[in-house]
Structure 1
C-alpha cells in the first residue's frame, strides 16, 4: 500500500484546506504550522482513512505531523496489518550468523529487513519499545521513505551481523535525526565491525540534505557507544535519568533498576535565532553551550509573561518504558495548571519518568521551567534544534534514579552529571 504526496494534497483540499495552501505545503514541515487548523487536520485524517481503506491507530495518529509522516506510515502499513506475531515470524525465518566470516558495511538493501529485525530480537528480546523494528517490511519501507537510514554489516553469506541507524524519533523537528541503534552480534564484538558501521554512518550523514543535525541517546551501562560518538563531532548536552527499564538491556548487563542515557548532539546546518533561557540555570546552560558553535541571541530571562493564553503541548506515552514525553511547543499563561495535570496523571498511571521538552525559542520558556521546578522537575539538558528552535529538557522521576550505576566516558559528561545530580538533590530539600 502506498500513497503519493499529490494524493495527500487532494485530500487536504477535500478536508477544507484552500487549494493554494495545500499546494504550498512543505512535505517535511508540520501541517499545523502551515495553515492547516485542528479541524482541517481531523477531517484530513478521516479523508485518508476513507480513501486508503485503513483505520489510523489513535496513538500512531499523534505522531503524524507532516505529509512525509503520512507517506511513511501508509507505506509501512502495506499488506494491511502487521503480522500478529512479529517475533514468531523472526524466529521462523532465522538466519544463522556464522562467526569468522568476512563482512562489508553499507546502506540497507532490499531483503536486509529480516536480518535487522533479527538483530533487534537478539539484543533486546521482545522488549524494544518500537514495534516497527521487529517487522522487516516496515524497516525497509521507512528506509525507502527517508525516515530511517540504516547501515548494516553484511556477511559474505548475506546474513546481517551488525547495524546502526539515523531515524526520525521524538523531536518535533523532523530534520533533527536520532543517531543510534548500533548493534553487533556477539560473535563479532571483538572485531572492528562497530567502528566501521559508525564510520560509514558518519560519511553518509554528510550526504543527507534533509538533516539539519543529529542527536543520540547513549546508554550508560557501558562506554562503547559514548566512545564512538565522541570521535565524530558530537557534544554531550544532557542526561536522561532512569529513562529505560533494565529489562530492555538485561542481555547487555544492565543494573537492577533503570538505565540512564547520555544525550549528545551535532549541528550541521545552523541559522540565527533567539534563545530564552531561565536565569536559574545560567551556569549549567552556559557550560552546555560551550560545546557548540551556535548563532544565537541569548537572553537569560526571569519569569517573563507568555505571549499566548493557551499552551500547545504534544504528548507521547511509551507504555513499556513507563515514560511520557511532552513537547511544550508553545508556552501559554495556563502552563502552570497544565504542568500540574501532567504531573498528577503521571503519578496516577504509575509512570517512572515524565519528560517535558520546553521550547526556548518561546518567550515563556522561563515561566515553564519555573512551574516545572515547583513540581519537582529537574534539569535534563539542552538540545539544539529540537523544535527547529532549541529545546530544554526538564524531567521528573517517580522512582529513585541509580546515579551510582551511571558510566560516563568524557570529563564533560561527568560534569553534566554533577550539575543534574545537584539539581535532583535540590528537589528533595
Structure 2
C-alpha cells in the first residue's frame, strides 16, 4: 500500500514535539526498518528546527510542510518552507561530501540513514529538502558467487540460436536484469540502482523506468534495454542496454529498442535520447542506423574505470559520450537565444536534427536566477540545471563549480541552460570566462524546450581517445574540444 502523508506547521519552536510524533507514527505505518525510526525522525526534526530558525526573517510568520511518501519501495521525506532565498548551491554541495564523510546535513553524517539528500530552491518562495531512503538494499554484487571473477569473463561462445520474445519486464525478473548488468559491466556501472533487483522493479512500477527484455525460449532474460524518465521535459533516455555475450549478434538490442520506441510514442513522448560511448563505435553505429541524430558531446561524462566486457580495456581518460536524439513527433519551429560565436555550429546541429530554428534577440539578465544541482558521487560528476537566467546566475554557477570540484570532488560539471531564455547568451559568455565550454544541445530537456549544455573539466581530454563513427560526430567533437581549449587557455 502506498503511503502519502503531510503535516503543515507554523514556524514556532513549540511545534517540534508535534513534528516528532507525526514522524514516528508515520514511520510505523511505512516499510522503514524499525531500527531507523528514531534516527531518521531526529534528523528530520533537526531540519525542521533549522527551517524554523532561519527560513524567515525575525518576527515573520510563516509555515513549514513535512511530507512523507512510501511509494514503490522508496521512502521520501520532504521539509519545505516558503521563506527567504538561500544559497542552495552551497547547501547542495555541502550535503554531498565524498570520502568517509558521505552524506551530511548541518555537519552531521546521515550516510547510514539516507541514500540521498537533495536541496531545491524556489527563489522568493523558499526551499525544500528531500531525504530519500530505499527500502530494498540487497545489492546483486553481494550475492554473486565469489568463486567467479569480478565480471563473468568465462565462456562467451554463442549458444545455438533459438526463438526470442521481446516485451516489458515482468514482476520477479529484476534479479535476472541485475545479474545481466553485472555479467557485462562487473560492479562498475555508474547507475548503482541497476544492481538492486527490488529497485529495478520498484522504478518500473513507479514509471520512472520502463524496462524491456529479450527472453530466450527457456524463459531466461538475455537482454535488457530501458527508457529512463530522468529529465523534466517530455523525453526519456534509452540506456541500461545489455545483451548476454552468448546471445549477441542476433539483433536483440535493435528489437528491444523498437519495442521501447513504440511504447514511447504511446505515452506521448516527444523523443528519446541516448548517450553513446566513444571507447568504440558500435553504440554510435546502432543509434545512427536507428535514425537518431547527434545533438551534444558529453565530454568526460563517465568515469574511466567503467567496464565493457570484451569490448575495451582500462581507459586512459574519463569516458566521453555522444548524445543522440530521435524525435517521435514532428518538430516545430524553435526560437532560441545563443551567443553569436556559436550560431554556425548551432545551425549545423539543428539542421542535422531536422529541427527548424530561428535566432532571437538577446536581452540582459535581470533579477534572481533559478537553478538546481544534482551530484553523482560514484561517477564524480554534477549537473547544474538553470531554470531561469538571472543577473546572479553566472556568479552562482561559478560558486557551485568551486564547491563541487573542491568539496564534492566532481571531475566534470555540466550546465544546462534554457535556449528559450533571451538572457542565456549573456550568461554563457560570462561562464566561458570561468572555463565552461560549449558542448551542444539537450533537446526537450526542460518543459520550456531545448537546453544549451556547457561543460567544465578538471582535466583536459585528448581527441585520439574519443572514437567517432560518422563525419558529423568527428567534426562536432573537434569543435567542442577546441572550445574547451580556448576557454581553458584564458
TM range (shorter): 0.7 to 0.9
CA distance in 1 between partners of 2:270 and 2:120 (Å):
20
Residue 125 of structure 1: aligned partner: 186
Question: What is the correspondence of 1:148-187 to structure 2 with a 5 Å cutoff?
Answer: 148-169=209-230, 171-173=231-233, 175-187=234-246
Deviation at 1:411, TM superposition (A): 1.4
Which ranges of 4 or more aligned residues in structure 1 deviate by more than 4 Å? 49-55, 60-65, 94-98, 270-273
SS in 2 for 1:206: helix
- Relative to 1, partners in 2 of residues 1:63 and 1:233: Cα closer, same or farther, differing over 3 Å? farther
1:163-194 alpha-carbon deviations (Å, 9 max, x no partner): 1111112x232x21101222111112233222
Which of 60, 63, 67 in structure 2 is aligned with 1:47? 67
1:192-224 alpha-carbon deviations (Å, 9 max, x no partner): 222322233333333232x22221100111122
Tell whether the 8 Å contact from 1:380 to 1:393 is kept in structure 2 after alignment. yes
| 1:220 correspondence with 2:278 | yes
SS in 2 for 1:48: strand
1:239-290 alpha-carbon deviations (Å, 9 max, x no partner): 1112111211253414222111001112334555532112121111111110
CA distance in 2 between partners of 1:298 and 1:408 (Å):
29
CA distance in 1 between partners of 2:199 and 2:9 (Å):
28
Deviation at 1:295, TM superposition (A): 5.3
| 1:377 correspondence with 2:431 | no
CA distance in 2 between partners of 1:317 and 1:111 (Å):
31
Residue 458 of structure 2: aligned partner: 398
Tell whether the 8 Å contact from 2:212 to 2:224 is kept in structure 1 after alignment. yes
Deviation at 1:55, TM superposition (A): 5.8
- Relative to 1, partners in 2 of residues 1:375 and 1:112: Cα closer, same or farther, differing over 3 Å? same
CA distance in 1 between partners of 2:144 and 2:266 (Å):
32
Residue 267 of structure 1: aligned partner: 327
Deviation at 1:129, TM superposition (A): 2.6
- Scaled by the length of structure 1, what TM-score is found? 0.79
Residue 197 of structure 1: aligned partner: 256
| 1:334 correspondence with 2:427 | no
- Scaled by the length of structure 2, what TM-score is found? 0.70
- Relative to 1, partners in 2 of residues 1:54 and 1:250: Cα closer, same or farther, differing over 3 Å? closer
| 1:141 correspondence with 2:202 | yes
CA distance in 2 between partners of 1:233 and 1:118 (Å):
30
Q: Which has the higher helix share?
A: 1
Deviation at 1:83, TM superposition (A): 2.2
| 1:287 correspondence with 2:348 | yes
Which of 262, 265, 271 in structure 2 is aligned with 1:206? 265
Residue 30 of structure 1: aligned partner: none
1:37-58 alpha-carbon deviations (Å, 9 max, x no partner): x99xx945x2326999956447
- Relative to 1, partners in 2 of residues 1:89 and 1:60: Cα closer, same or farther, differing over 3 Å? farther
Structure 2, gaps ≥5 residues long: 11-54, 57-62, 78-113, 123-129
1:27-80 alpha-carbon deviations (Å, 9 max, x no partner): xxxxxxxxxxx99xx945x23269999564473555999xxxxxxx99x97xx7
Residue 96 of structure 2: aligned partner: none
Tell whether the 8 Å contact from 1:267 to 1:384 is kept in structure 2 after alignment. no
Residue 415 of structure 1: aligned partner: 475
| 1:356 correspondence with 2:392 | no
CA distance in 2 between partners of 1:407 and 1:53 (Å):
39
Residue 298 of structure 1: aligned partner: 359
Q: Aligned pair count?
A: 382
Structure 1, gaps ≥5 residues long: 17-37, 66-72
Residue 368 of structure 1: aligned partner: 427
Tell whether the 8 Å contact from 1:198 to 1:228 is kept in structure 2 after alignment. no
CA distance in 2 between partners of 1:134 and 1:177 (Å):
21
CA distance in 1 between partners of 2:316 and 2:181 (Å):
22
- Relative to 1, partners in 2 of residues 1:414 and 1:63: Cα closer, same or farther, differing over 3 Å? farther
CA distance in 2 between partners of 1:205 and 1:53 (Å):
25
SS in 2 for 1:384: strand
Question: What is the correspondence of 1:35-74 to structure 2 with a 5 Å cutoff?
Answer: 43-44=64-65, 46-48=66-68, 54=75, 56=77, 57=114, 59=116, 61=118
CA distance in 2 between partners of 1:400 and 1:348 (Å):
17
CA distance in 1 between partners of 2:202 and 2:187 (Å):
21
CA distance in 1 between partners of 2:120 and 2:168 (Å):
26
Q: Max radius of gyration: which structure?
A: 2
Q: Which has the higher strand share?
A: 2
1:117-157 alpha-carbon deviations (Å, 9 max, x no partner): 11221222222233321122221222223221111111222
- Relative to 1, partners in 2 of residues 1:232 and 1:322: Cα closer, same or farther, differing over 3 Å? same
Deviation at 1:84, TM superposition (A): 4.9
Deviation at 1:361, TM superposition (A): 1.4
RMSD of equivalent CA atoms: 3.3
